[in-house]
C-alpha cells in the first residue's frame, strides 16, 4: 500500500540540529584558542532550519509568553487562507488535541507532491524543510497572500518536536510524511486513493523551545480565526478543543461590515448602519468599514492580505489623515462647528472618540517591519487608503446629512470634554495632587529609587493593607491600600475620572501623570501588583483596576523594551498576586499549597515514602516506593483522565482495551494483526464486564485513502447498544495516543498482581493499580485539616509575606493582552452601560464558574 518517493537519509536533506537540540550534525567549527582572538574559526554557519531553532524569536516572536506558540498555528492557517484568497479553499478546521498538539486541515489544492525540477526532492518536502521555499514568489499562483517569504510552515516544522503532513493531492492519492525538529523521519509516501483535496498538518510544539508556556489558548486562537472568517466572506472556519470539549464555527457573508457591527454589539451605535466601502487605487484594494458609538473609546483594527497588523502602519496613517480632513471639510462647508468655533477644526482624537473601524488592504508586494508582520511599512498604501477613504467618506456624508450631523456633534462634545479635562488637570496639578513631589499620605513608599527594582502593591482594604505594610520588604516594596471600589472609568469621561480622589491618588503614586502629559518613562514602579481577596468583591475591584489601566495606561500591558530596538521583546508591568488556595495542617505542621496540583503532590508525598507496592517486572518480583511510586500514581491518575476523554469517542472500555494492547497506525495496515487484536479485546472485555457479553465486531473495512482497516464494534444490554469506531483518526487522536503511552509506561514500571503495605506491615492484595492509587490518596487525607482561603484578611503579616509577597516563594500572574480588540470587547461588555450584552455573557459562562462566592 506504500510507494516511496525519496529516501529521507539523502544528503540533500538539510539538517536542523540533532534530536531535540540546536546543534547541527555537520562538521563543527574549531573553537577559538581561548585567548580572546576573533578568528575565521569562530564563524558559525547554520544550515537548513538550524537558524530557526537557534533564534526562534526572529521568526515567530517571543517563545516565553505564548506569542510565538500561537504564531505557529497562525502561520499554517495563513497558508490555508491564501488558498481561499486564490479561490480554491472553502473550509478550514483547527483542532487542539489533548496532548496540546494541533491539526490544521483545509480543502485547498494541497501542497504539490511531485519532484522539484532542480532540487531533486519532492516539492512538499522542500516546502517543509527549506527556508524561502514556497509558491508565493510567483504571482501567477497567488495574486495576493499573507505569506511572503516562504518561512512560515518550515519554521513551524523546525520548532515542533514532531510534525505529520498529510496531503490529499490533485492526482487523487493521499501522501504522508513525518518530521522531528524539521528533519524528515520518513520518506514522502503515497497511500491510497482519495476523492478529497487539501492539506492536513498536525504538529506538537517542541517543549525545549517553548519552556514556559506549552498550552494553546482556545480563546486566543478562536479570536484570530473569527477575524479571518470576517475578512474572507463565505469561508467556513471551525475550531475544536478536545481538551475541554468545546467548538465553534465561523462563517460570515457580510465581510468586515459584519465585523464592525459585532465589535459594536456591546455599545449603543450613533447611526444604525455600518459605513462600508471597497475600491481599488493603483493596484491596492482598500476595504473599510466604520461606525461610531456612544462610548468614549476608539477601536481601529488593520489588516494586510488578511494578516492582522497589531501596530498598524501606513494603512492606519492614511485612514486617520483622510478621516480627519474629510469630516472637517464637511463640517466647515456646512457650518456645523458652531459660532464659537470660528476658524477652528476638530482634532483627530475628537473625531475618533467612540469610533469602531476595520481597514483591510490587499497588496501584491507588502513590506512589514518584521517577520511577525506587526506593522505595514509600504508607503504607497498610505496614499491608496487616503484617496479611497477621502472619496468614499465624503460621498457618504453628502448622502446622509442626518448621520453626518450626529457624528460631528459627537466629536464636538468630545472636543469640549477634552478642554474641560485639560482645565481639570491644570486645577488638580496646581493643587499638587498629581505632582511627583507630593506623594499621597496613604502610600507607604519603598526605599529603593531604581524603578526597575521597585514594586507597588495595590491592596484591597485597610486591614489587608496594614498586614502588607508590616510584612513587606521595605527596600523594594511599596503599599497603597484602596478604600472600597474605585470609580468605573468605562462609564465616565476623562474630567470626571480626575475628580475621583482614589484615582488621583493612584496616578500620583505611579508618577507618570495621565492624558496628553503622560510620560510612561517616569513610571516609579516596574511591577504593579494587584492584591485582592478571592471573593466577588475582590474580583470586582481587580476588574475595576484592570479597566483603569487598560483604558488609560495600556502601555503597562505591552511596553517595548528599550534595549530591543526591534520591539520583539516586550516588558509588562501589571501583575496579579496569587495567594495560596489551601492551608493544610497535620498535627502542629502547617503548609500552604497554591493549587490542586500542589495538593495532589502533598497527599502523595506524605504517604509514598512509607508505602510499598509489589508486583512483577519482566517476570521478576519488583517493589515500588518513594518517588518512583509517586510518579506511577500520577501517571495512573492521568490515565483515568484520558479514559474519560476517550469515552467521548465511543465505548471507553473498548477503546481503552485497544490502547492497552498498544494499537498503532501500523497495526491497522496489517489485517492479520487487526484480527488478532480484535480477538484479544473481545476475550478480555467479555471476561471483565458481564454487560459486554454481547460485544460484536463487524467485518473490517478498508480505508483506501490511508491503506488502513477500520473496525466497528457494538455492545450493550437491554436493547440499548452503543457503536464504537476504531480507525486511523481514533488511533492518532491525542487522548488515545496519550492513554497508550501511559499504559506502556506503567507496564514498564510494574505489572500485576499487585500488593500494598504501609510502614513495614503485611502486604495486602489490590485488584488494580487504580485501586492502589485510590488507597494511597485516601490515606494521605487521613488526619489532615484542609483550609481553603478566600480573603487576605484571614492572614497575618507573616503569613502574607510567606505566601504572597516574598519574591523567593510567591506566585505572580503576569497580565498581558493577546488581542487588544478582544480585550476591548470584554471590558465594554463587563463594565459598560449596556445591560443586555452583560447578561448574555453571564448566561453563556455560568456553567464554567467554579467556587462561586454567594
Catalytic residue among 535, 610, 729, 777: 535
Nearest to 739 by CA among 637, 836, 829: 637
Catalytic residue among 533, 651, 703, 825: 533
Is the peptide bond between 173 and the residue preceding it cis, with omega within 30 degrees of 0? no
Nearest to 69 by CA among 21, 102, 106, 105: 102
Q: Do the strands 236-241 and 91-96 form a parallel or antiparallel pair, or are they unpaired?
A: parallel
Strand partners, 592: 583
Q: Is 769 helix (H, G, I), strand (E, B) or coil?
A: helix
- 535 carries an active-site annotation: yes
C-alpha cell at 520: 510612561
How many beta carbons lie within 10 A of that of residue 710, not counting itself?
18
Give Cβ neighbours of residue 715 (< 8 Å, ≥ 6 apart): 651, 654, 685, 691, 692, 694, 695, 696, 721, 722, 724
C-alpha cell at 809: 516563594
Q: Is 455 helix (H, G, I), strand (E, B) or coil?
A: strand
The CA distance from 783 to 531, in Å, is: 32
Q: How far is CA 105 from CA 12, 15, 159, 187, 194, in A?
A: 29, 27, 19, 21, 15
Q: Do the strands 527-531 and 455-460 form a parallel or antiparallel pair, or are they unpaired?
A: parallel
Question: In degrees rounded to 5, what are phi and psi of residue 704?
Answer: -60, -35
The CA distance from 235 to 252, in Å, is: 7
Catalytic residue among 166, 241, 242, 460: 460
DSSP letters, 530-580, are EE--SSHHHHHHHHHHHHHHHHH-GGGTSEE-TT-TTS-SEE--EEEE---
272 HSE (CA, 13 A, CB side): 1
Chain center to CA of 731: 27
Helix-strand-coil percent breakdown of the chain, rounded to 5?
A: 40, 20, 40
How many beta carbons lie within 10 A of that of residue 778, not counting itself?
11
DSSP letters, 4-35, are E---TT-TTSPP--STTSS--SSPPPPPP-SS
- The set of long-range contacts for 438-441, using a CB threshold of 8 Å and a minimum separation of 24, is 438/508, 439/508, 439/509, 440/480, 440/505, 440/508, 440/509
- Strands (DSSP E) contained in 138-223 are 160-168, 173-180, 183-184, 189-193, 198-205
Residue 194 φ/ψ region, left for φ over 0, alpha for ψ in the -120 to 50 degree band, beta for the rest: beta
Q: H/E element holding 239?
A: strand 236-241
The CA distance from 74 to 217, in Å, is: 13
Q: What 3 state SS string does 252-291 have? A: CCCCHHHHHHHHCCCCCECCCCCEEEEEEECCEEEEEEEE
Cell 482519495 maps to which residue?
A: 194
Catalytic residue among 448, 537, 729, 777: 537
Question: In degrees rounded to 5, what are phi and psi of residue 175?
Answer: -125, 140
- 140 carries an active-site annotation: no
Catalytic residue annotation: 460, 533, 535, 537
Amino acid at each position: 500500500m506504500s510507494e516511496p518517493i525519496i529516501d529521507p537519509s539523502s544528503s540533500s536533506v538539510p539538517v536542523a540540529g540533532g534530536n531535540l537540540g540546536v546543534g547541527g550534525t555537520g562538521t563543527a567549527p574549531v573553537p577559538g584558542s581561548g585567548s580572546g582572538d576573533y578568528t575565521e574559526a569562530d564563524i558559525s554557519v547554520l544550515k537548513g532550519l538550524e537558524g530557526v531553532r537557534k533564534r526562534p524569536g526572529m521568526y515567530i516572536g517571543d517563545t516565553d509568553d505564548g506569542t510565538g506558540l500561537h504564531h505557529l498555528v497562525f502561520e499554517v492557517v495563513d497558508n490555508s487562507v491564501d488558498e481561499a484568497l486564490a479561490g480554491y479553499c472553502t473550509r478550514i478546521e483547527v483542532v487542539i488535541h489533548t496532548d496540546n498538539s494541533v491539526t490544521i486541515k483545509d480543502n485547498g489544492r494541497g501542497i504539490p507532491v511531485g519532484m522539484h525540477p532542480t532540487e531533486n526532492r519532492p516539492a512538499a518536502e522542500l516546502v517543509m524543510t527549506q527556508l524561502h521555499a514556497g509558491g508565493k514568489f510567483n504571482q501567477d499562483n497567488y495574486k495576493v497572500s499573507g505569506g511572503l517569504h516562504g518561512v512560515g510552515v518550515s519554521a513551524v516544522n523546525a520548532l515542533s518536536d514532531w510534525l505529520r503532513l498529510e496531503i490529499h493531492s490533485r492526482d487523487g492519492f493521499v501522501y504522508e510524511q513525518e518530521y522531528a525538529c524539521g528533519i524528515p523521519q520518513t520518506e514522502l509516501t503515497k497511500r491510497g486513493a482519495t476523492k478529497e483535496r487539501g492539506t492536513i498538518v498536525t504538529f506538537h510544539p517542541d517543549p525545549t523551545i517553548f519552556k514556559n508556556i506549552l498550552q494553546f489558548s482556545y480563546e486566543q486562537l478562536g479570536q484570530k480565526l473569527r477575524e479571518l472568517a470576517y475578512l474572507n466572506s463565505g469561508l467556513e472556519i471551525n475550531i475544536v478543543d478536545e481538551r475541554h470539549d468545546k467548538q465553534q464555527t465561523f462563517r460570515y457573508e457580510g465581510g468586515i461590515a459584519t465585523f464592525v457591527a459585532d465589535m459594536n454589539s456591546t455599545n449603543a451605535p450613533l447611526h444604525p448602519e455600518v459605513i462600508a466601502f471597497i475600491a481599488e487605487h493603483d493596484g491596492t484594494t482598500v476595504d473599510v468599514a466604520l461606525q461610531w458609538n456612544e462610548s468614549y473609546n476608539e477601536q481601529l483594527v488593520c489588516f494586510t492580505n488578511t494578516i492582522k497588523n497589531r501596530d498598524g502602519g501606513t494603512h492606519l496613517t492614511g485612514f486617520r489623515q483622510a478621516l480627519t480632513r474629510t469630516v472637517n471639510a464637511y463640517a466647515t462647508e456646512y457650518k456645523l462647528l458652531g459660532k464659537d468655533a470660528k476658524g477652528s477644526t476638530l482634532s483627530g482624537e475628537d473625531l475618533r472618540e467612540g469610533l469602531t473601524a476595520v481597514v483591510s488592504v490587499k497588496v501584491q508586494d507588502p513590506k512589514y517591519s518584521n517577520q511577525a508582520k506587526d506593522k505595514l511599512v509600504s508607503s504607497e498604501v498610505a496614499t491608496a487608503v487616503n484617496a479611497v477613504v477621502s472619496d468614499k467618506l465624503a460621498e457618504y456624508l453628502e448622502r446622509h446629512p442626518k448621520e453626518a450631523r450626529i457624528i460631528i456633534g459627537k466629536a464636538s462634545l468630545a472636543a469640549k470634554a477634552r478642554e474641560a479635562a485639560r482645565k481639570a488637570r491644570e486645577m488638580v496639578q496646581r493643587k499638587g495632587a498629581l505632582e511627583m513631589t507630593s506623594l499621597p499620605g496613604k502610600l507607604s513608599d519603598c526605599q529603593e529609587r531604581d524603578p526597575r527594582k521597585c514594586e507597588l502593591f495595590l491592596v484591597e482594604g485597610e486591614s489587608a493593607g496594614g498586614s502588607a505594610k508590616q510584612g513587606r520588604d521595605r527596600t523594594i516594596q511599596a503599599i497603597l491600600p484602596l478604600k472600597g471600589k474605585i470609580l468605573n472609568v468605562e462609564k465616565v469621561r476623562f474630567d470626571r475620572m480626575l475628580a475621583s480622589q482614589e484615582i488621583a491618588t493612584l496616578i500620583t503614586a505611579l508618577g507618570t501623570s495621565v492624558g496628553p502629559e503622560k510620560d510612561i518613562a517616569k513610571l516609579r514602579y516596574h511591577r504593579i501588583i494587584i492584591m485582592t481577596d478571592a471573593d466577588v468583591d475582590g474580583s470586582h475591584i481587580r476588574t475595576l483596576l484592570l479597566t483603569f489601566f487598560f483604558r488609560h495606561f495600556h502601555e503597562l500591558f505591552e511596553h517595548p523594551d528599550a534595549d530591543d530596538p526591534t520591539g520583539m521583546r516586550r516588558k509588562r508591568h501589571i501583575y496579579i498576586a496569587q495567594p495560596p488556595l489551601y492551608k493544610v495542617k497535620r498535627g502542629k505542621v502547617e503548609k500552604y499549597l497554591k493549587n490542586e496540583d500542589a495538593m495532589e503532590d502533598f497527599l502523595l508525598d506524605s504517604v509514598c515514602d512509607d508505602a510499598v507496592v509489589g508486583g512483577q517486572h519482566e517476570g521478576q518480583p519488583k517493589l515500588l516506593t518513594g518517588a518512583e511510586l509517586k510518579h506511577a500514581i500520577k501517571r495512573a491518575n492521568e490515565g483515568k483522565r484520558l479514559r474519560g476523554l476517550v469515552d467521548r469517542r465511543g465505548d471507553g472500555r473498548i477503546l481503552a482495551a485497544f490502547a492497552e494492547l498498544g494499537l498503532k497506525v501500523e497495526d491497522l495496515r496489517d489485517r492479520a494483526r487487526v484480527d488478532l487484536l480484535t480477538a484479544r479485546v473481545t476475550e478480555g472485555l467479555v471476561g471483565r464486564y458481564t454487560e459486554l457479553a454481547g460485544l460484536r465486531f463487524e467485518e473490517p473495512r478498508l480505508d483506501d485513502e490511508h491503506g488502513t482497516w477500520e473496525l466497528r464494534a457494538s455492545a450493550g444490554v437491554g436493547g440499548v447498544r452503543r457503536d464504537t469506531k476504531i480507525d486511523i483518526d481514533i488511533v492518532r487522536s491525542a487522548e488515545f495516543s496519550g492513554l497508550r503511552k501511559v499504559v506502556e509506561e506503567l507496564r514498564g514500571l510494574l505489572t500485576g498482581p499487585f500488593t500494598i503495605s504501609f510502614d513495614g506491615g503485611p502486604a495486602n492484595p489490590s485488584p488494580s493499580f487504580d485501586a492502589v492509587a485510590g488507597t494511597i490518596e485516601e490515606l494521605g487525607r487521613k488526619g489532615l485539616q484542609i483550609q481553603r482561603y478566600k480573603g487576605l484578611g484571614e492572614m497575618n503579616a507573616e503569613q502574607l509575606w510567606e505566601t504572597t509577597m516574598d519574591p523567593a516563594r510567591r506566585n505572580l500572574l503576569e497580565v498581558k493582552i493577546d488581542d487588544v480588540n478582544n480585550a476591548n470587547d470584554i471590558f465594554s461588555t463587563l463594565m459598560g452601560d449596556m445591560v443586555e450584552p452583560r447578561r448574555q455573557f453571564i448566561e453563556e459562562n455560568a456553567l464554567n464558574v467554579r467556587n462561586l462566592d454567594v
